[in-house]
Amino acid sequence: MPIELKGVIAEHIRAVNAFDTDAIMATFAKDAYVNDNRREIAGIDAIRRWVEKEIVGDKVTLDVREVIDHYGDTIVRAVYDGEYDKTSRSPCQSPRRVVHFP
């Protein structure tokens, strides 16, 4: 059964996969922050710089594998791929990430 995403979550995934910085940014609140691999990126301007360099610039794509409703929050499990440096990952590490949307 295909995974159905709706609303801002679907817009976010679609925008990331289209490498569309403006569309990605439209999915963030003005007071948003991102925790990327234990780095906190706070503020819309800092998030835009991160998106331009590390999402769009590295041509990151998301292949959604699972969507979970957890007490009203949505958790998206996806496999990430792109043109970023993958050499520091051990062979058993999967490029899988969990994205949490409150």
1 inside domain: no
| Full domain range(s) for residue 31 | 7-101
Residue 24 falls within a domain, yes or no?
Answer: yes
Per-residue confidence in pLDDT tens, the chain, 102 aa: 456 788 999 999 999 999 999 999 999 999 998 988 788 999 999 999 999 999 999 999 999 998 988 888 888 888 889 998 777 654 444 454 555 555
Tokens at 36, concatenated: 């990327």
- What domain count does the chain have? 1
In a domain, 2, yes or no: no
CA separation for the pair 58, 32 (Å, rounded) = 22
Determine, yes or no, domain membership for 15: yes
- Which CATH number belongs to the domain containing residue 76 in this structure? 3.10.450.50
Confidence (pLDDT) at 31: 92
**Cβ-Cβ contacts under 8 Å for 33 (sequence gap 6 or more):** 40, 41, 42, 43, 47
- Is residue 21 a part of any domain in this protein? yes
Please give the pLDDT value at position 7. Answer: 92
Q: With respect to residue 80, please indicate whether it lies within any of the assigned structural domains.
A: yes
Question: Is 88 within a domain?
Answer: yes
32 domain-assigned: yes
Instruction: Please tell me the pTM assigned to this model.
Output: 0.82
